[in-house]
Structure 1
Amino acid sequence: MKKFTAISLYTGAGGLDYGFEAAGFRTAVAVELDELCVQTIQLNRRWPVIQSDINSVSVDQILEKAKLKVSEPDVLIGGPPCQPFSKSGFWATGSTKRLDDPRASTLENFLRVLEGTKPRAFLMENVEGLGFKGKDEGLQHIRKRLDEINVQHGTNYVPFTAVLNAADFGVPQLRRRLFVIAARDGSSFVFPDESHAPLAELRAGQRRYLTAWDALRSIRLSKAELASLKLRGKWANLLPSIPEGQNYLWHTDRGEGEPLFGWRRRYWSFLLKLAKNAPSWTIQAQPGPATGPFHWTSRLLSVREIARLQTFPKDIQIAGSYADAQRQLGNAVPSLLAEVLAGEISFQLLNRPVKGARKLAISLARAPIPAPEKVARVPAEYLMLRGDHEAHPGTGRGYRATSRDGSTPVGADEPFELSP
């Protein structure tokens, strides 16, 4: 059966594309500026690639490289990087209209290519903040532009949006992202029901969440690899004193460890450790030296482990250094979630059901999950931090709450760990 064609923008390391590939699509062209991401693509697939800033790439170039004509592409996919709409951008800018930020032009470029290629359907992935209530100017812009495109070209793109947690669909990682999906003919789209849930919340037909142990249990690392993953830096020796599934809050006056930090005074991911019996926390793209999630044995995750938690195909290679690989993988869409949505697009909007089991699914461990690792004592070098530490005073009253002009932006300095 002939595969559906996909035009891929902001392809990155290919997280979306691998999922669509598993559901019967082929990437007819990928547009990606980052050199290392392009190298990663070329290490793994023979997709035609345009390595350039999307601002300078014309629709004609894209169609020519894809060997397609206007209206022939089956789907346009991409996750335009939109830092102004991230949670950090949300708190930092308060009520500022983030569409004025030059970095928001990525949205318009996606819509420009949509208008020029007129695919049968499209999927746009983005940060959850794009749809935050009262600050959804980005989402409103998308809807407005789609209305304009429909009037001018006789199309009928009607956007359907949802914020999905990857863990609800079999990905061994808690990761929330917003998706916008539409069909050229105006067909309705229904986002799939959650197939997985925590044990205590299981409904009929659902399976338990995939855990970090399910994902990583079969990966074997050499002694050299393990040595390279040893944690370094100021807080390295403190991590073994934090139990699986916990973070620095363990060592506050409301935790069960030593009172070394103030309650909610650090980012949620500070000294954050995986638990074998739970999904991974969100994989970070550019973590600091004490930013998790870390392995339950108090080390960095290997590149293969990060790729598995992102449900990339098992044979995928990532170009560049460890930090390069972390950035590429941390910015990607979990490929299994992409496969789930691609299957629904294929069935609901393109009239072709996807048969068989999901190719990127991770199997549940049959044997019992091992017991948690033993927790070490706090090394003497950190005991000097013991004492009374102020807790975070609340939304709008923290360290960064007051802006330069003396006003207090709405939502400024929200306690960090409200958004794990």
Structure 2
Amino acid sequence: MPHNPSWARFAGRVATGAVECVDLAVAPERLRGGLWFVVVDFEADLGGGATGRPGRARAWRFAHVADDDARHRRPTRWTGPQAGTWRSSLDRDAYQQAVARVREHVRDGDVYQANVCRVLSAPLPVSDTGDEPDAAALAAVLAAGNPAPHAAAVHVPAGHGIDPVWVVSASPELYLTLDGDRLTSGPIKGTARTPGGLTAKDRAENIMITDLVRNDLQRVCRAGSIEVTDLLAVEHHPGLVHLVTRVHGTLTADVAASPHLWRDVLAATFPPGSVSGAPKSSALRLIGQLEPVPRGPYCGAVGWIDGDAGRAELAVGIRTFWWERDPGGGTLRFGTGAGITWGSDPDAEWHETELKAARLTALASTPDDSPPPTSSEPA
């Protein structure tokens, strides 16, 4: 590894050698120039509503950026936590009680839908030499075992004078793309093992969140420019299917030209509607009451912003692992959740969270008495 082993990968680009980190809540204008890799916590207060918990919105600039070429990655080995060590922030009974609480709030007219999540965690300490777990190795294991259209990874280790981060995502969901003044979102709502398992509840939930996303984009887009395409399209992913819709709009001239473009866009649209609920502000308050731990980068945003080219691609941070140092040496986390409506069955929603987590946590875990899988990392 180089002296500064930081790196990032997303959307066909790989970057190495982080040189600085900026706080998007403080200096969003910095993103109008240069290429930045972005990680935003779900709890970050960017002006669009928050759960009341602290969260960060950060972007890193790297010294070297190139096209991602898998042929240039050297083999390495991922050593994950033992499969039996994962623990959930909400057990089955607690999660089902949270679902019941949301249904009460829907009945009372407080919300139409709220996303309820739980965070799985497993101990994963630093190595004997003090090295952090190999994010590149996990990223490649997921790429091989669970390829995702918006897969991403950012790892800036502690101790190099730059704000650290460790995130590996196999996200299937587009939060935002920007191409010039064209803004697009791709909300996912509706999950099943097969297309035949998708229900009327899934379709209604998708349409509900599509309306929320349309309203979010309208806050920064020209009147009459919002359009919906691919409504309720079925997308196939490893082990499951999703209902996906696309929403497009054209930025107003003022927003497109503003040095605070990303402050305005994020304030209008964050956190993503598919992982919060509707109305968003009421759903966020309810999430803050029901979920015992913060989501962090899970359900936030991860991706890149190219200020020079006027282009960006940000994924919703679902199917996402993140690692943090702690007094025990370190913990690997993974989030999973489901959208709750009046039509939700608590047991079925629990099983949806299990379905979303099972494949990925298995890939990230080391089975007892089995060698860890071999993978690869950036050159």
TM-score range, shorter chain: under 0.3
TM-score normalised by the chain length of structure 1: 0.26
TM-score normalised by the chain length of structure 2: 0.27
User: Which one has a larger percent helix, Structure 1 or Structure 2?
Assistant: 1
Q: Greater Rg, structure 1 or structure 2?
A: 1
User: Which one has a larger percent strand, Structure 1 or Structure 2?
Assistant: 2
